[in-house]
Amino acid sequence: MLLRGYGTAGPGGWLMLLLLACVAWASEITFELPDNAKQCFYEEIVQGTKCTLEFQVITGGHYDVDCRLEGPDGSVLYKEMKKQYDSFTFTASRNGTYKFCFSNEFSTFTHKTVYFDFQVGEDPPLFPGENKATALTQMESACVSIHEALKSVIDYQTHFRLREAQGCSRAEDLNTRVAYWSIGETVILLVVSIGQVFLLKSFFSDKRTTTTHVAS
C-alpha cells in the first residue's frame, strides 16, 4: 500500500515524512502530530474496493484529533472533530486518489501520538481454490481456521498494545501532576511556617515595647 503525506509541522515534519516513506508499504503507522499541525495521507483505490480506516490517539493532551476523509472529487466521506478513536468503513465509489488527514490545529502547545490502520480490499485467499465451489480438505480447512484465528490474535495484540501505551502515558502524566502538586504543597508549607515564626516574633516584640513604656 502506497501512502504519501504532507503536513504543517515545519522541518521536523519533513524528516518524519521521510521516515514514513521508508515504511509506506505498511498499513499501520504510528506518528507524531505536533501542535498546530496537520498530516495528510493519500491512497490510490479502485472502484468497488472495500476500505476501513481505524485510528486512535495514544498520547497527548485530551487524546483527541480531528479526522477527515475525502474522495477523488473532493467530497467528504468522513469528518469527526476531537475524536479519541474511531473506525470508518466505506466502499470506493470511483477510481482515484483518496485523502485522509489528521489535524491538531486546535491545540496550541500539546503534541499528539496517533496510530492509524488503513485497510484496502480483502485479504487474498489462503489457497487458490478457497473461493471456488469445490470443498476444502480437512487440512486446508484447519489451516484456514488457524489463519483467521491468528489474524484475530494480531488485532487483539495491537489493541492491547495501544491501550497499554495510552495507560502508561496517563500514568506518567498523573505522576508529573502529583510531583508538581507535592512541590507546591511543600513551598506553601514553608511559606506558612516562616510566616508563623515572624508573626509570633511580632507578638513578643509588641509585648516587650508595651512593658517598657509602663515601667518608664
Mean pLDDT by 10 residues, the chain (216 residues): 50 36 53 90 90 89 90 92 90 91 88 89 68 66 81 81 80 87 92 87 66 53
Q: Contact, 63 vs 146, CB < 8 A? A: no
Q: How far is CA 64 from CA 109, 112, 119, in A?
A: 14, 8, 22
Residue type, 85: Y
pLDDT at position 67: 94
Sign for the pseudo-dihedral over CA of 75, 24, 157, 32: negative
pLDDT at position 133: 52
Q: DSSP alpha helices (H): ranges in 23-137?
A: none
Tell me the C-alpha distance between 206 and 195, whole Å: 17
Q: Contact, 197 vs 203, CB < 8 A? A: no
Count of residues making up the chain: 216
For 12-26, give the DSSP string.
HHHHHHHHHHHTTT-
Tell me the C-alpha distance between 191 and 81, whole Å: 45
